[in-house]
């Protein structure tokens, strides 16, 4: 759904024919006592969380920010939200900025007005944690086990974090000078501010028992055999640092045809300081957007005093020192994509920003050939294309040439497995089973892009599952099947324990205890289906929610005239007031958010608020089943779909 403005109302909601009218209240209230069903409180996974590759309890930390779920003790709202969000993702500042937010595409609020700005609130949580100096807690007692983690990017660092929380020590082997992986070397600093990135990395290391060995490549400086001897388990999280070649003749021969990976690494290491006057990038994803945006910011020079060129910098460790900004001109930058704009994999706002910055975008076109002069390309021949069986087919008669001094391919990546050839599955990647174990190699696990190149948040989510698998392996525990909805779920029993509301010990000598819903030896009439079901909007009472404009983050996106030399951060964090307001737009799908509808509309006064000293999240209301007549009204008016008429089925 398009972004809403404060003074513009979008389509309020969608009705099926007849859904917007009530049936007879007489039947529901006065004849409904013939029903055998009564309400049960059922927790389900919201689609935002179901769409999140790292499985964050998004509903949970939004409910904390908005004030529904209260912190325990003297912990602030901000720190409590930080603790909840980082159960799954230890990089809230980074992910709040650069994650393309599939959670927002899944948000049920899209069927009311506009999605909740989830990543904006996450950035607020992460930036506040930075300002306030929040730390991670970890058990002081260690297991005595130690894991070798190969790669210090988002997957490797997230694994070190999760393993340390389980009491396992680790050593991170990183072949770059600094930790961070693609967050540091693949994404420009104006999107992942280095001060915040360094802080979020250091916060993990500060947990202790995490050793770091930079500038160390496994397979060259350290052998796999040494790791197998010295460590109890090995986790491969080496990422994908080899760009895929464009499938046209003479690509590898052309000196000025390079990969996006090499281009961005050279820029982020500070070696690439200018580009050639005419840059063409082939892609359509977020990486290609970074290439063209960096090119526009750097500016170009017609020639380099030392005879070097941008492609030489990206394929070596040399640096373009001595280039004066006054000598630069604005680079003519073009991006091509196989797909139409609405099917490009880059985030929509990134495409909009690139266009504003002066990037020319050609969609539904495919590269056909390079135009060569000697060993350099002077242009890229393209043609309009259609997709047939997932493959592009050129449209005859539409060929034309884009002039180019530098051509960058951002069409995919694979791993650099030199020295690790026995781990190569033939596609430049490593094989993994569903538990992120490496088949045929006991004690070896794998996660992140080296399994399948995808999002940063995907790598973080895989690291969490891989860490659990490693924990089971180290403890000689069977690794059973993962749940259908494999996320970091809210746990009501943990919440009751945290708030001092734990059920009493069960006394088995009492005898027949049927019909004892008033007793406190169990959590009554509650079912947790969060590991089996994602709740859709048709199970909610959308009529409860009125239009509320989304609270937008301020953005600093330069125009085409302003972009050269513009390396300021793009997005500004929400204020506390704005973050609370935006979190308040969350519909808390699948969990009670204390609206009181069920209490107000129950015609028999059967539904009631739990006493304040016995209430907590998930236990705000209860039912007197002696009064309940099974009229279904509480279920009908529950905005979040938390009430099922299921007792008796």
Kindly list the distances between the CA atom of residue 531 and the CA atoms of 30, 49, 55, 469, in Å, as whole numbers in the listed order.
37, 11, 11, 18
Average pLDDT value for residue range 166-170:
98
Residue holding tokens 């039912």? 623
Tokens of 579: 């973050």
Query: What's the confidence (pLDDT) of residue 626?
Result: 85
How would residue 4 be classed by pLDDT, with cut points 50, 70 and 90? very low
Q: Is the pLDDT of residue 13 over 60?
A: no
d(CA 83, CA 94): 16
d(CA 450, CA 459): 9
How would residue 257 be classed by pLDDT, with cut points 50, 70 and 90? very high
Query: What's the confidence (pLDDT) of residue 159?
Result: 98
Tokens of 583: 């979190």
The backbone torsions φ and ψ at residue 223, rounded to the nearest 5 degrees and listed phi first, read -85, 155
pLDDT, tens digit, for every residue of 431-474?
999 999 999 999 999 999 999 999 999 999 999 999 999 999 99
HSE, CB side, 13 Å, CA atoms: give it for residue 192. Answer: 24
Query: What's the confidence (pLDDT) of residue 235?
Result: 98
How would residue 519 be classed by pLDDT, with cut points 50, 70 and 90? confident
Concatenated DSSP letters of 422-448: GG--SSSS----TTSBPTT-TTEEE-S
Average pLDDT of the residues of the chain = 91
pLDDT, tens digit, for every residue of 556-608?
999 999 999 999 999 999 999 999 999 999 999 999 999 999 999 999 999 99
Residues near 491 by Cβ (< 8 Å), separated by ≥ 6?
Answer: 528
Query: What's the confidence (pLDDT) of residue 648?
Result: 61
Q: Is the pLDDT of residue 520 over 90?
A: no
Tokens of 275: 């580009």
pLDDT, tens digit, for every residue of 171-207?
999 999 999 999 999 999 999 999 999 999 999 999 9
**DSSP 8-state code for residue 523:** -
Q: Is the pLDDT of residue 381 over 70?
A: yes
Query: What's the confidence (pLDDT) of residue 23?
Result: 59
The pTM assigned to this predicted structure is 0.92
How would residue 505 be classed by pLDDT, with cut points 50, 70 and 90? confident
How would residue 48 be classed by pLDDT, with cut points 50, 70 and 90? very high
Beta bridge partners of 257: 407
Average pLDDT value for residue range 129-155:
97
Query: What's the confidence (pLDDT) of residue 1?
Result: 38
Q: Is the pLDDT of residue 321 over 80?
A: no
pLDDT, tens digit, for every residue of 382-399?
999 999 998 999 999 999
**Residue 289 Cα to chain centre, angstroms:** 18
How would residue 486 be classed by pLDDT, with cut points 50, 70 and 90? very high
Contact 550, 582 (CB under 8 A): yes
Query: What's the confidence (pLDDT) of residue 412?
Result: 94
Positive or negative torsion for Cα 599, 605, 607, 608: positive
pLDDT, tens digit, for every residue of 407-432?
999 999 999 999 999 999 999 999 99
Domains of the chain: 25-134+489-647 (no CATH), 146-241+415-474 (3.50.50.60), 249-411 (3.50.50.60)
Average pLDDT value for residue range 79-100:
97
Q: Is the pLDDT of residue 24 over 70?
A: no
**DSSP 8-state code for residue 21:** S
d(CA 118, CA 57): 11
Q: Is the pLDDT of residue 12 over 50?
A: no
d(CA 339, CA 343): 6
Among the listed ranges 6-20, 341-355, 533-547, which one has the minimum average pLDDT value?
6-20
């Amino acid at each position: 759904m398009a972004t809403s403005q404060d003074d513009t109302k979008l389509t309020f909601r969608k009705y099926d024919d007849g859904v917007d009218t009530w049936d007879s209240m007489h039947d529901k209230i006065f004849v409904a006592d013939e029903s055998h069903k009564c309400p049960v409180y059922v927790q389900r996974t919201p689609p935002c969380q179901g769409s999140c590759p790292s499985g964050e309890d998004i509903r949970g930390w939004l409910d904390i920010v908005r004030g529904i779920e209260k912190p325990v003790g003297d912990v602030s709202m901000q720190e409590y939200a930080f603790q909840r969000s980082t159960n799954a993702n230890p990089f809230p500042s980074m992910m709040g900025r650069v994650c393309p937010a599939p959670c927002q595409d899944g948000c049920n609020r899209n069927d009311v007005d506009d999605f909740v700005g989830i990543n904006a609130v996450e950035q607020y949580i992460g930036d506040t944690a930075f300002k306030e100096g929040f730390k991670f807690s970890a058990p002081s007692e260690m297991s005595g086990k130690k894991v070798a983690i190969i790669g210090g990017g988002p997957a490797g660092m997230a694994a070190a974090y999760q393993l340390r929380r389980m009491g396992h020590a680790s050593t991170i082997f990183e072949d770059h000078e600094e930790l961070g992986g693609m967050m540091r070397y693949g994404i420009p600093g104006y999107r992942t501010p280095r001060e915040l990135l360094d802080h979020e990395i250091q916060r993990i290391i500060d947990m202790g028992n995490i050793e770091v060995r930079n500038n160390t490549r496994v397979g060259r400086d350290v052998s796999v055999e040494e790791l197998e001897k010295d460590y109890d388990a090995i986790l491969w999280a080496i990422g994908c640092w080899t760009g895929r070649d464009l499938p046209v003749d003479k690509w590898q021969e052309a000196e000025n045809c390079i990969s996006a990976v090499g281009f961005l690494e050279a820029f982020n290491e500070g070696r690439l300081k200018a580009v050639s006057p005419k840059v063409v990038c082939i892609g359509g994803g977020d990486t290609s957007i970074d290439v063209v945006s960096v090119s526009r910011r750097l500016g170009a020079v017609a020639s380099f005093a030392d005879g070097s060129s941008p492609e030489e910098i990206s394929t070596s460790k040399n640096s373009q020192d001595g280039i004066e900004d006054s000598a630069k001109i604005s680079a003519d930058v073009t991006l091509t994509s196989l797909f139409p704009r609405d099917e490009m994999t880059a985030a929509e706002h990134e495409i909009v920003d690139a266009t504003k910055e002066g990037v020319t975008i050609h969609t539904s076109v495919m590269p056909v050939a390079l135009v060569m002069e000697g060993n350099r390309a002077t242009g890229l021949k393209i043609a309009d294309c259609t997709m047939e069986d997932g493959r592009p087919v050129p449209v005859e008669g539409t060929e034309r040439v884009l002039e180019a001094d530098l051509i960058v391919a951002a069409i995919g990546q694979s791993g650099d497995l030199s020295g690790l050839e026995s781990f190569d599955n033939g596609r430049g990647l490593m094989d993994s089973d569903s538990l992120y174990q490496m088949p045929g190699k006991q004690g070896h696990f794998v996660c992140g892009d080296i399994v399948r190149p995808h999002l940063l948040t995907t790598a973080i989510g895989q690291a969490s599952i891989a860490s659990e698998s490693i924990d089971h392996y180290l403890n000689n525990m069977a690794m059973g099947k993962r749940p259908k909805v494999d996320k970091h779920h809210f746990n009501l029993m943990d919440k009751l324990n945290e708030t001092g509301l734990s059920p009493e010990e069960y006394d088995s000598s009492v005898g027949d205890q049927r019909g004892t819903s008033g007793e406190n030896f169990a959590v009554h009439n509650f079912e947790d289906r969060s590991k089996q079901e994602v709740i859709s909007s048709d199970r909610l009472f959308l009529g409860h929610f009125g239009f509320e404009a989304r609270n937008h983050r301020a953005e600093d996106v330069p125009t085409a005239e302003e972009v050269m030399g513009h390396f300021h951060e793009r997005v500004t964090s929400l204020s506390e007031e704005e973050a609370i307001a935006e979190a308040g737009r969350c519909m808390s799908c699948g969990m009670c958010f204390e609206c009181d509808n069920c209490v107000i509309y129950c015609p028999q006064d059967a539904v009631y608020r739990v006493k304040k000293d016995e209430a907590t999240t998930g236990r705000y209301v209860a039912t007197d089943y002696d009064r309940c007549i099974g009229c279904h009204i509480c279920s009908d008016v529950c905005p979040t779909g938390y009430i099922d008429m299921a007792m008796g089925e």
